[in-house]
Structure 1
Amino acid sequence: MKLDNFYVDDKMVSKALMSSIDDYIYLGDLTTNVFFVSQNMYDDFDLPGRLVEDLVNVWGRLIHEKDKERYFKSIDDMLAGKADSHNEEYQIRNRKGQYVWVHCKGCLYRDPQTQAPLSFIGIVKKPSSLGKVDSITGLLAHETFQETLQNLSADGMLDNAGFMILGIDNFTKINTLKTHHFGDIVLRNTAQDLTGLLPESVQLYRFDGDQFAIFTPDGTRCSLRAIYETIQAYTSHSHSAEGQTYDFTMSAGAVRFADISDIDEKAEKCAAIALKEAKANGKNQCVFFEESMLDYKVREQAILQDLQESIADNYAGYHLVYQPIADAATLRIIGAEALLRYQSKTYGALYPDEFIHLLENSGLILPVGRWVLSEAIKMCAKWRQQIPEFVMSVNVSCLQLKDDDFPHIVETELEKAHLPADSLILEMTESYFVSDSDIIADALSKLRKLGCNIAMDDFGTGYSSLGRLTNFNIDIVKIDRLFVQQLYANHFNQSFIEAVIRLCHSAGMKVCVETCEEQQSISSLYSDTLQGYFFSKPIPPQSFEENFIAQPDCMGKYAIKEELPPYCIKMSSNKDLLLMMMDAVPLGFNLWNHNYQNVECNHAAVKMFDLLSEEEYLDHFYDLSPEYQPDGTPSMQKAKEYISKAFEKGSCVFYWQHQKLNGEPMPCEVTLVRIRYKNEYLVAGYTRDLRRQLRIEALCESKCHVYDPLPEAVMIFDIAKHACVYANPFMLEFVDAKAYPLQLDQFLMPPLSMKELIDLSCHQLNIGKRIFTFEFNLLIKGKPTPVLASSTYLSDHHDYLMITLNRTELKPEVSL
């Protein structure tokens, strides 16, 4: 077959190509300077249409400023005959306003006779087809950086150059507290903003995760530091996206190629080491690589080898130390935290910061973690023989939680030691609880079903907020030592701790305050447990047994003791006396402990709810409230909030909706007061039935508009209490009083009393009189003044008596 006989329509070819290729296609008639572009090219970029006049300049205006000069030079060289094609990579702004990398390759066709340019045809490779462009940020990817570095190194062009790796500090916090989608937006915006801020000669790349890389031909320390300071200034203010504000900083590890040998192998590793150093030293800083830093990596590898060999040698070198946990009220030792230590064959005793991350990164934490769990559980079982309530706290890593067998491992170790599950506390940091990992959530659920206690370690240092705290499925919150260390120097920290304790207690969680080095730090907090150097540093098991297991109350002398008068001391240690005093209180009275248990009540409380015994009151207490309080809060939750507040603040007063067992509503006023009893705190509750008071208030409110305008002195009395509950303005003016409740006794002539006056009126009314009139003397401004009065019942129930003065048209029946 001869090619001369082959014919295809040009228009058909163009149409077929444009509809079958994912990349962008352009065809240009240079005699008219009109170009035809593919539909996707028009869709993705800000072009006036598919027919574009002077596309070279229209397209050029969309190219990033840093790349424009190179783009136009390539076009000019081609048109001038210096080249037959255009082949460039550059960044160009799409319709979304984002700069994306593209690879443009086009060929110029000339008139065979005149050599004048006739047409310009080419393809623009899309970012997705380049394989070298990051899909999230549009930046050149890690692979492209490595290729560029190899090419420049081969050409000997790196001697004066430098580069740095940038890492967003705490980027996990943005991902977890917001969303991964929002995190991608932050990466994209950061890439776009930095691209615009950096000098034209500086190239920005996207590395893995939250990391970027910067290459600059000017690799002096001064130049690299200036670049980082530009970035630091950018991150020093808040940013926003999708209506949300976010803040972040960036750390950097910088490398001058002149300072390292074997660039291809070591450049990235050196920058990564410097970046790690920057983050370890506080973040938000740039650290320059030094050869001495490689010694640290050599040390790490040697330690890792020791760790592996120790596991094979039956965990030789690994050992546990224990730090005591004390009851906050009595300072009695009730538990310990087991902490891992390691003795390296090469370097001796190591700090946990030196080897824990190596165990986690290498996966060795799985066998070592099981060994720790087994040893700690065995020790707990031994010590519980002397302290039955003793609990053991063990730290758990994320890798352990992601191990499907971990809940079964815990159960097996507990069974081997014949230890109840609630004697084991598994500690993990905040990040585990805000993780969106279903595996971790499932593991925590299984461990709780097993009966283990789950503790959030170092609360306040990571991702949590008070508002999210109650969403976490945990039993104990450990407040980080950093807040406690400056508790009295910083009012915010003290308020923070108080808020955490109150919130945790209201949600049924306990609180452990960590690292109380001074006695002052353990007062006024009312947490459940305490732990820290005030009691002891972590010590070997033998020392722990001698110092604490043998004498668990050894720290009791440091417990905060209040100065109490002798009768209070006697009451706080004598149960019979306390109960006798409770029964002498005319209000409903009960006692609460830290576990929200109602432990005692008086006779008045039983009588108030029409119950038969104190046992019935205690057994059915939570049935004496509706499921929800009037504000919609569950009664159980609200009760715990108030009890926690009383434990922390000392007292509180509030309205409470009670009910009898038959459902009859009982509005009450409750006063909670923290009291000392047998070296611990309880909360005493005083309950006042408000039904009578509310009826009086309703009665007075309904009568005010009737009696206030009367030109006669009117009073209303609560017969049962012999108390004046209402006096109209005329009465107050008559006796020169300012307001009610009116103490009428002070205006009566002795020996007449208000009780006698009320009793006499009631007697007369009870024998059939509808109105009883009488005369008596009032002391008005110190002088006896005879007045005429009449009394009548105000209600059918004979609860209230109304007495009216100055009814001169009535004849008195009695003179008093």
Structure 2
Amino acid sequence: MNAVVYAIDDEFNLTYANEQFREIANYKGVRTKCYEILMENEYPCASCPIKNEFGFKNQCCSDVYFKNMPLNETCKREMYYKKLDLYYKVYITKNEHHPKYKYVLTAFNIDKCKKFSSAFEDNRKQTLFNSFDFKLLDFYNSIASVCEDYLIFYNLKTKNTYIPDKLLYELGYSEKSKNLFSESTLYRSIHEKDLSEFKQFIRKMSSGEIEFFDTVIRILNKFGKVIFAKLRASLTYDQNLKPNVVSIMIKLLNKKPVVDYSTNLPNRFHLKNLTEEHLRNKHTPMAILLIEFDNLTNISKIFGRNIADYVVIDLAETFQHIMKDNMMLFLFEWNIFAIKIETADIRECMELVDIIKNILSTYKVLPEKNYYLNISAGCSFFPKDSNSYNTLISNAEYALEQSRLDDKHRLISFSKHILQLKYRKNKLTQIIGDSMSNNFSGFYLVYQSHIDTKTDKLLGAESLARFTCDEFGSVSPEEFIPILEEMGFIQDFGKWVLTESVKVCIHAQKQLKNFHINVNVSYLQLLDDSFIDFLKDILNKYALTPNTLFLELTETSIVKNKNDLIQKFKNIQELGIKVAMDDFGVGSSSLGLLKEIPIDMLKIDKIFVKGINSNKFDATFIQFIGSLCSKANITTCLEGVEFESELNSIKIFSDIDMIQGYFYGKPSTYETFANEFLNNKYL
């Protein structure tokens, strides 16, 4: 087989050519280091790295190495060489068999024939380095079409510039003549502040003063947007050793990388590319699974970001080993992995999540620390959930968010119900935002009584926030409080609730001097540096007796933020205001919390009342906590009392100070509350 071959490296420098190639290509006088090596060697094949790598002995590698190589028909070109009077079919093939060489060109003699027009007969006499051979430029256009970077040739004699099709599109040029332009076309694409520097480089190359330059300049794309580009240029010479052509490699720095270099995982941009390719070309089912490490942010805060990054890198390597052939792992965000699974169903996704959870159950962030990772997981499926990437990824994110809210560390698959919940939340967010801008319209307060266990007399009340709107009617605090926190409105809302509650307390104290009011607060309010000053202002403005105001925080919130809140509670108590712990008994805390946290009132959760007459543990728990708090001077309030039988049993436990529940009345507006309780019956 009669073949010619050369190899070029990643920067398109000639690195190898065999005898056949050297014979038909006019490279005499090309002053490059690799050319000098080639020309000095009488038998170039003897030093061929491809030949040495595969041990072809005395045979030319073109006869052996390319004999069975699959050729890409899309890279085919036809060339006619008058010197040999031969018609060649030429292929450019990516070389994956040798680490140093990226592309290989092979030219196969098909038949002796003459099939080219007279116009091409004239052009083919000129080589690339004398002018621009249009057929050879077709090769470079072909190469440029599959490369990330752009290759420009600038002829110093004719002042013509060769610009490949891809770069022409990027720069916004529609008309082209064999990709050849005057130098002014190139100059118009360079930012005016960098143009003089670029021209200076070209002048120095024209005089032979420099042969290479490497710089960063700004160019203008088709939208007139400035893009930073890295330029690397080298100079070649003609047969008379005069500067001839400048080869310029351009790398646009706005191109998004597709690999995360810390984990070596493909990133979300590559996930998008591969998923869209799958949607275009395949019809098989596919899943996108998102895995979020719930407490990785806390790890970053406690141990430092470097440790958190190390955990992600380590887990990336670990998870790679559990990927099956139909799975591919991506880094979606710094604390979220994405897994693309082909031909997948919910069962396979659940099995994979279980494997990951088993790995994390024994994975320690630091060997000496008992600190473990939890996950949330969400997935969506093609074609069931969508046939577009953006919708698929949004649906997976919705499912992940629902898994996070459930706080059960399990996989949630996208469903229409999740979409309905998302719509409801988005609409509520909009409505609540409008309400906050309209003097808290739609929000109002209701009050539920605190009754003395021994005397059945009124002691005070708890104020509870409510919200209503035309589209959804009444909305519970469990739904609108998180929205207020996410929107950053919780401080303003909390101040409004406190102000309205204090006004009611002042009014009620006209009937009952020691009437107290309990107000729920968010831990975000307590962490606000201005909160203590606000409390001082409100006490002074309304002349409220401080010890008749109780600020309530749930046990769960206190446990999660214990270290931050202890000093805040002490600062509040220094003002004379009382602190209450709500929903005690449902969290994961121990009795030691009562010792650590400075509280004045303990509210026992209603779950213990329900079994007071049937469950010995519930009755014993209430009696024990009541007795303990009585001796520690902590006021106790038992929530959720609905029936007289429950009340009668509670009265046995004389250490419980007060009752709150439907037995005495549901939460109501202050007008209704005042009519019911601020009378002689309860005073």
* 1:399 has 2:524 as partner: yes
Q: 1:282 to 1:311 in 2, by over 3 A?
A: closer
Residues 438/246 of structure 1: CA separation in 2 closer, same or farther (3 Å cut): closer
What is aligned with 2:491?
A: 366
How far did 1:76 drift? 7.6
Letter in 2 for 1:148: L
Contact 1:481-1:513 at 8 Å conserved across structures: yes
- Give me the whole-angstrom Cα distance separating, in 2, the residues matched to 1:178 and 1:497: 40
TM norm structure 2: 0.55
**Cα distance change, pair 438–169 in 1 and its aligned pair in 2 (3 A):** closer
Q: Determine if contact 2:95/2:103 at 8 Å carries over to the other structure.
A: no
1:345-744 alignment, distance < 5 Å: 345-434=470-559, 443-487=568-612, 493=618, 496-497=621-622, 500-501=625-626, 503-518=628-643, 519-520=645-646, 522-523=650-651, 525=653, 526-551=655-680, 553=682
- Aligned partners of 2:258 and 2:269 also within 8 Å: no
Q: Which runs of 5+ in 1 are unaligned?
A: 6-27, 34-73, 85-129, 555-816
Counterpart residue type for residue 77 of structure 1: H
Residues 256-293 of structure 1, C-alpha deviation per residue, up to 9 Å, x if partnerless?
03234474433333122223334555734432212453
Q: Percent identity of the aligned residues?
A: 28
Note the C-alpha offset of 1:436: 5.8
C-alpha distance in structure 2 between counterparts of 1:240 and 1:369, whole Å? 37
2:275 corresponding residue in structure 1: 152
Deviations 1:736-774 (CA, angstroms, capped at 9, x unpaired): xxxxxxxxxxxxxxxxxxxxxxxxxxxxxxxxxxxxxxx
* Alpha-carbon distance, 1:442 to partner: 5.3
1:477/1:511 contact within 8 Å kept: yes
> What's the counterpart of residue 223 of structure 1?
348
Residue-by-residue CA offset, 1:57-84 (whole Å, 9 max, x unaligned): xxxxxxxxxxxxxxxxx99833798968
* Amino acid in structure 1 at the alignment position of 2:676: N
Task: Name the CA distance, whole Å, in 2 between partners of 1:450 and 1:269.
Answer: 48
Distance 1:536 1:454 in 2: 24
Shift of 1:342: 1.1
**Counterparts of 1:205-354 in structure 2 under 5 Å?**
205=330, 211-231=336-356, 242=367, 250-261=375-386, 263-280=388-405, 283-354=408-479
Aligned residues between the structures: 446
What is the CA–CA distance in structure 2 between the aligned matches of 1:177 and 1:508, rounded to whole Å? 35
- Residue deviations 1:518-540 (CA, integer Å, cap 9, x gap): 44363555333332233322122
Matching residue of 1:202: 327
| Conserved? CA contact 1:162–1:257, under 8 Å | yes
CA separation in 2, counterparts of 1:431 and 1:181? Answer: 29
Contact persistence 1:432–1:440 (CA under 8 A): no
Q: Name the stretch that deviates more: 151-160 or 233-242.
A: 233-242
Q: 1:316 and 1:80, CA in 2 relative to 1: closer, same or farther beyond 3 A?
A: closer
**In structure 2, what is the equivalent of residue 166 of structure 1?**
291
Report what 2:205 is aligned to.
none
Deviation, structure 1 residue 392: 0.6
Contact 2:454 2:651 (8 Å CA) reproduced: no
Q: 3-state DSSP class of the match of 1:527? A: coil
Contact 1:206 1:213 in 2 (8 A): yes
Task: Report if aligned partners of 2:566, 2:597 keep a CA contact under 8 Å in 1.
Answer: no
Closer, same or farther: CA 537–234 of 1 in aligned 2, 3 Å: farther
SS for the counterpart of 2:596 is coil
Partner of 2:12: none
Distance in 1 between residues matched to 2:666 and 2:436, nearest whole Å:
26
Give the SS at the match of 1:539.
coil
Contact 1:307/1:344 (<8 A) preserved: no
2:383 partner SS: helix
| Secondary structure of the corresponding residue to residue 346 of structure 1 | coil
Aligned residue number for residue 700 of structure 1: none
Whether the 8 Å contact between 1:401 and 1:439 is mirrored in structure 2 is no
Q: Kindly state the Cα deviation for residue 216 of structure 1 after the two structures are TM-superposed.
A: 1.4
Instruction: Give the 3-state SS of the residue equivalent to 2:98 in structure 1.
Output: helix
How far off is 1:149 after superposition?
2.1
> Structure 1 418/245 Cα, relative in aligned 2: closer, same or farther at 3 Å?
same
Shift in alpha-carbon separation, 1:3–1:417, aligned structure 2, 3 A: farther
Alpha carbons of structure 1 residues 240 and 440: separation in structure 2 relative to 1, 3 Å: closer
The SS at the match of 1:465 is coil
Structure 1 residue matching 2:502: 3-state secondary structure: helix
Cα-to-partner distance string for 1:194-218 (whole Å, 9 max, x where unaligned) = 5544435433445558654332123
Mapped partners of 2:349, 2:579: distance in 1: 47
1:734-773 aligned at under 5 Å gives the runs: none
CA–CA separation in structure 1 for the residues paired with 2:628 and 2:341: 52
Letter in 1 for 2:395: C
1:640 corresponding residue in structure 2: none
Task: Report the aligned-residue RMSD.
Answer: 4.6
Q: Distance in 2 between matches of 1:209 and 1:506?
A: 50
1:94-114 per-position Cα deviation (integer Å, ceiling 9, x unaligned): xxxxxxxxxxxxxxxxxxxxx
Tell me, in whole angstroms, the C-alpha distance in 2 between the residues paired with 1:467 and 1:320.
34
Deviation string, structure 1 residues 491-515 (Cα, Å, up to 9, x no partner): 5555555554455445443332322
Q: How many Å separate the matches in 1 of 2:599 and 2:585?
A: 15
Decide whether aligned partners of structure 1 residues 78 and 332 sit closer, same or farther in structure 2, where only a CA change above 3 A counts: farther
Provide the rounded CA distance (Å) in 2 between the counterparts of 1:217 and 1:134.
Answer: 25
2:98 is matched with 78
Q: Show CA shifts across 1:322-371 (max 9, x none).
A: 11122333342211111111121332222223322211111222222221
Taking structure 1 as the reference length, the TM-score comes to 0.47
Please state whether the residue corresponding to 1:470 is helix, strand or coil: helix
Q: Is the 8 A contact 2:95 2:101 kept in 1?
A: no
Q: Is the 8 A contact 1:238 1:245 kept in 2?
A: no
Matches within 5 A, 1:34-183: 77-78=97-98, 133=260, 138=263, 140=265, 144-154=267-277, 156=280, 160-167=285-292
2:377–2:412 contact (8 Å) kept in structure 1: yes
TM-fit CA distance, 1:376: 0.7
1:260–1:267: 8 Å Cα contact kept in structure 2?
yes
Whole-angstrom CA distance in 2 between matches of 1:290 and 1:381: 50
Distance 1:327 1:32, change over 3 A: farther
Give the counterpart letter for 1:522 in structure 2.
I
Q: Which residue of 1 aligns with 2:137?
A: none
**For residues 394 and 3 of structure 1, what CA distance do their matches in structure 2 show?**
86
Structure-2 separation of matches of 1:190 and 1:492: 44
Q: Which structure has the larger Rg?
A: 1
Q: What amino acid is the match of 1:228? A: V
- Aligned amino acid, residue 78 of structure 1: H
